[in-house]
Amino acid sequence: MILSDATFRPPTTAWAGQLLEVVLLVLVAAAATLVVLTRRPQRQVVVLSGYGLLLSLLFFALQAPDVTLSEMTVGAVVLPLVVLLTISKLKMQPGREEEKK
């Protein structure tokens, strides 16, 4: 007895990919909330960088490699670096009072 192609179905693991996407979506939402709720600028830069990495992982799981590379470059490296340099530049300006903590 020969099985035809119509009767044979290999086992699928599509649920694992969907589970990964759901977990990454929840982590991205939590990280976005954490970025907004963080008050200290230096800590916010670190959280923003982690948020960019989580977005990169999400895009990779969604099979978008070009968007993944762009997000890793801009969202996880360049944007936090620019914000951190801006913060340090603002603190170095003469005549500017330091914020009291």
Distance CA 75, CA 78 (A): 6
**pLDDT tens per residue across span 9-38:** 666 677 888 999 999 999 999 999 999 999
C-alpha angle with apex 29: 27 to 30, nearest 5 degrees?
65
pLDDT computed for residue 98 by the predictor = 57
The yes-or-no verdict on residue 99 having pLDDT over 70 is no
Average pLDDT, the chain: 86
d(CA 86, CA 51): 19
Using a pLDDT cut of 70, give the percent of the chain over it.
81
Distance between CA 82 and CA 96 in Å, rounded?
Answer: 20
